[in-house]
Protein backbone atom coordinates (compact mmCIF):
# COMPACT_ATOMS: atom_id res chain seq x y z
CA UNK A 1 0.00 0.00 0.00
CA UNK A 2 1.26 3.48 -0.88
CA UNK A 3 2.15 6.12 1.67
CA UNK A 4 -0.43 8.76 2.33
CA UNK A 5 0.92 12.23 2.98
CA UNK A 6 -2.27 14.13 2.17
CA UNK A 7 -5.94 13.31 2.73
CA UNK A 8 -9.34 14.81 2.10
CA UNK A 9 -12.37 14.02 4.26
CA UNK A 10 -15.83 13.59 2.83
CA UNK A 11 -18.68 13.60 5.32
CA UNK A 12 -21.93 11.69 5.22
CA UNK A 13 -24.48 11.50 8.03
CA UNK A 14 -21.98 12.43 10.75
CA UNK A 15 -19.28 10.03 9.54
CA UNK A 16 -15.95 11.16 8.07
CA UNK A 17 -14.46 9.16 5.20
CA UNK A 18 -10.78 9.94 4.75
CA UNK A 19 -9.47 9.55 1.19
CA UNK A 20 -5.72 9.30 0.60
CA UNK A 21 -4.76 11.87 -2.10
CA UNK A 22 -2.28 11.21 -4.89
CA UNK A 23 -1.21 12.90 -8.11
CA UNK A 24 -2.31 11.63 -11.49
CA UNK A 25 0.48 11.33 -14.05
CA UNK A 26 -0.45 13.29 -17.17
CA UNK A 27 0.82 11.74 -20.40
CA UNK A 28 -0.91 13.91 -23.02
CA UNK A 29 -3.65 16.57 -23.21
CA UNK A 30 -6.21 17.97 -25.64
CA UNK A 31 -6.52 14.81 -27.74
CA UNK A 32 -9.18 14.63 -30.44
CA UNK A 33 -9.98 11.12 -31.70
CA UNK A 34 -12.14 12.07 -34.71
CA UNK A 35 -9.53 10.99 -37.28
CA UNK A 36 -9.62 7.48 -35.79
CA UNK A 37 -13.44 7.19 -35.58
CA UNK A 38 -15.51 4.84 -37.73
CA UNK A 39 -17.60 7.02 -40.07
CA UNK A 40 -20.68 4.77 -39.74
CA UNK A 41 -20.87 4.98 -35.93
CA UNK A 42 -22.61 7.74 -33.96
CA UNK A 43 -20.97 9.29 -30.93
CA UNK A 44 -22.68 9.53 -27.54
CA UNK A 45 -23.07 12.96 -25.95
CA UNK A 46 -19.59 12.95 -24.35
CA UNK A 47 -17.81 11.24 -27.25
CA UNK A 48 -16.37 14.27 -29.04
CA UNK A 49 -13.66 15.11 -26.50
CA UNK A 50 -11.09 16.54 -26.30
CA UNK A 51 -9.50 14.02 -23.96
CA UNK A 52 -6.27 13.48 -22.06
CA UNK A 53 -4.14 10.46 -21.25
CA UNK A 54 -3.16 9.89 -17.64
CA UNK A 55 -2.18 7.08 -15.30
CA UNK A 56 -2.07 6.41 -11.58
CA UNK A 57 0.76 4.63 -9.85
CA UNK A 58 -0.71 4.06 -6.37
CA UNK A 59 -3.26 1.53 -5.05
CA UNK A 60 -3.18 -0.33 -8.39
CA UNK A 61 -4.38 -3.72 -7.09
CA UNK A 62 -6.94 -2.47 -4.57
CA UNK A 63 -10.61 -1.58 -4.81
CA UNK A 64 -13.00 0.72 -2.97
CA UNK A 65 -14.02 4.35 -3.42
CA UNK A 66 -12.18 7.10 -5.24
CA UNK A 67 -12.70 10.79 -5.80
CA UNK A 68 -11.34 13.39 -8.19
CA UNK A 69 -10.35 16.59 -6.41
CA UNK A 70 -9.73 19.85 -8.28
CA UNK A 71 -8.18 22.76 -6.39
CA UNK A 72 -9.11 21.11 -3.10
CA UNK A 73 -12.78 20.53 -3.99
CA UNK A 74 -14.29 17.07 -4.51
CA UNK A 75 -15.70 17.00 -8.04
CA UNK A 76 -16.51 13.30 -8.52
CA UNK A 77 -16.99 10.21 -6.36
CA UNK A 78 -16.88 6.71 -7.84
CA UNK A 79 -16.36 3.08 -6.95
CA UNK A 80 -14.41 0.02 -8.01
CA UNK A 81 -16.00 -3.30 -7.07
CA UNK A 82 -16.14 -6.97 -8.06
CA UNK A 83 -13.09 -8.36 -9.85
CA UNK A 84 -11.68 -4.97 -10.80
CA UNK A 85 -9.12 -2.68 -9.17
CA UNK A 86 -8.01 0.95 -9.28
CA UNK A 87 -5.26 0.16 -11.79
CA UNK A 88 -7.72 -1.30 -14.31
CA UNK A 89 -10.26 1.47 -13.74
CA UNK A 90 -7.82 4.33 -14.34
CA UNK A 91 -4.92 3.08 -16.40
CA UNK A 92 -7.21 1.22 -18.79
CA UNK A 93 -10.45 3.17 -18.38
CA UNK A 94 -10.69 6.82 -17.36
CA UNK A 95 -7.06 7.52 -18.19
CA UNK A 96 -7.05 6.29 -21.77
CA UNK A 97 -10.01 6.97 -24.06
CA UNK A 98 -10.19 4.99 -27.29
CA UNK A 99 -12.67 5.58 -30.13
CA UNK A 100 -14.68 2.54 -28.95
CA UNK A 101 -15.43 4.38 -25.69
CA UNK A 102 -17.09 7.22 -27.61
CA UNK A 103 -19.73 5.41 -29.69
CA UNK A 104 -23.46 5.29 -29.01
CA UNK A 105 -25.09 1.93 -28.45
CA UNK A 106 -27.23 0.53 -31.24
CA UNK A 107 -27.26 -1.62 -34.36
CA UNK A 108 -25.81 -4.54 -32.42
CA UNK A 109 -22.99 -2.46 -30.93
CA UNK A 110 -22.59 -2.28 -27.15
CA UNK A 111 -22.76 1.05 -25.38
CA UNK A 112 -19.63 3.16 -25.21
CA UNK A 113 -18.22 4.39 -21.95
CA UNK A 114 -20.12 7.61 -21.32
CA UNK A 115 -18.75 8.12 -17.82
CA UNK A 116 -15.15 7.48 -18.89
CA UNK A 117 -15.44 10.06 -21.68
CA UNK A 118 -17.32 12.55 -19.52
CA UNK A 119 -14.85 12.47 -16.61
CA UNK A 120 -11.76 12.34 -18.84
CA UNK A 121 -12.89 15.41 -20.82
CA UNK A 122 -13.55 17.31 -17.56
CA UNK A 123 -10.07 16.40 -16.30
CA UNK A 124 -8.62 17.57 -19.62
CA UNK A 125 -10.46 20.88 -19.25
CA UNK A 126 -9.20 21.28 -15.66
CA UNK A 127 -5.62 20.56 -16.78
CA UNK A 128 -5.84 23.16 -19.55
CA UNK A 129 -7.09 25.70 -16.98
CA UNK A 130 -3.96 24.91 -14.91
CA UNK A 131 -5.93 23.54 -11.95
CA UNK A 132 -4.40 21.21 -9.35
CA UNK A 133 -5.90 17.74 -9.84
CA UNK A 134 -5.62 14.91 -7.33
CA UNK A 135 -7.22 11.53 -6.99
CA UNK A 136 -8.32 10.21 -3.61
CA UNK A 137 -8.55 6.55 -2.65
CA UNK A 138 -10.50 4.92 0.15
CA UNK A 139 -9.56 1.23 0.11
CA UNK A 140 -12.50 -1.05 1.00
CA UNK A 141 -13.12 -4.76 0.42
CA UNK A 142 -16.86 -5.41 0.78
CA UNK A 143 -18.67 -4.73 -2.52
CA UNK A 144 -22.05 -4.11 -0.86
CA UNK A 145 -20.49 -1.60 1.53
CA UNK A 146 -18.56 0.07 -1.30
CA UNK A 147 -21.75 0.56 -3.36
CA UNK A 148 -23.86 1.78 -0.44
CA UNK A 149 -21.19 4.21 0.75
CA UNK A 150 -20.63 5.58 -2.76
CA UNK A 151 -24.33 6.29 -3.23
CA UNK A 152 -24.67 7.89 0.23
CA UNK A 153 -21.62 10.13 -0.31
CA UNK A 154 -22.87 11.25 -3.73
CA UNK A 155 -26.38 11.94 -2.46
CA UNK A 156 -25.11 13.90 0.55
CA UNK A 157 -22.31 15.86 -1.13
CA UNK A 158 -23.70 16.23 -4.68
CA UNK A 159 -20.30 16.45 -6.46
CA UNK A 160 -20.46 18.60 -9.58
CA UNK A 161 -19.22 15.91 -11.99
CA UNK A 162 -21.53 13.12 -10.71
CA UNK A 163 -24.61 13.19 -12.89
CA UNK A 164 -26.03 9.66 -12.52
CA UNK A 165 -28.09 10.54 -9.43
CA UNK A 166 -29.10 14.01 -10.62
CA UNK A 167 -31.31 14.11 -13.73
CA UNK A 168 -31.25 17.92 -13.98
CA UNK A 169 -27.45 17.83 -14.35
CA UNK A 170 -27.69 15.05 -16.93
CA UNK A 171 -30.20 17.04 -18.96
CA UNK A 172 -28.02 20.17 -18.88
CA UNK A 173 -24.97 18.25 -20.15
CA UNK A 174 -26.62 16.69 -23.22
Residue by residue, pLDDT tens for the chain (174 residues) are: 467 889 999 999 889 999 999 999 999 998 888 777 887 788 888 988 999 999 998 889 999 999 999 999 999 999 999 889 999 999 988 999 988 888 887 655 556 688 899 999 999 999 999 999 999 999 999 999 999 999 999 999 999 999 876 654 444 444
pLDDT value of residue 171: 43
Tell me, rounded to whole angstroms, the distance of Cα 122 from its chain centroid: 9
Q: Is residue 68 within 8 Å of residue 133, measured between CB atoms?
A: yes
Query: φ, ψ for residue 24 (rounded to 5)?
Result: -95, 150
Q: Is residue 136 within 8 Å of residue 58, measured between CB atoms?
A: no
**String of b and e for 99-124 (b: at least 16 CB within 10 Å)?**
bebbbeeeeeeeebbbbbbbbbbbbb
At residue 10, the 3 state secondary structure works out as strand
Q: Is residue 14 within 8 Å of residue 57, measured between CB atoms?
A: no
Residue among 92, 89, 86 at smallest CA distance from 2: 86
Q: Is residue 111 within 8 Å of residue 104, measured between CB atoms?
A: yes
CATH of domain 20-172: 3.40.1440.10
pLDDT value of residue 173: 45
Tell me, rounded to whole angstroms, the distance of Cα 52 from its chain centroid: 12
Q: Is residue 163 within 8 Å of residue 172, measured between CB atoms?
A: no
pLDDT value of residue 114: 86
* Domain boundary assignment for the chain: 20-172
The burial of 129, by beta-carbon neighbours within 10 Å (0-12 exposed, 13-18 middle, 19 or more buried), is given as: exposed
Amino acid sequence: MANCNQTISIQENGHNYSFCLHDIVIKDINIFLTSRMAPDRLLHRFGKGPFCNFIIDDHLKEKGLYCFVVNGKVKYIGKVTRNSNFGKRFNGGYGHISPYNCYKAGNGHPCGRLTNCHINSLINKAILAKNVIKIGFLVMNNDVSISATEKALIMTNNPEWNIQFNQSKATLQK
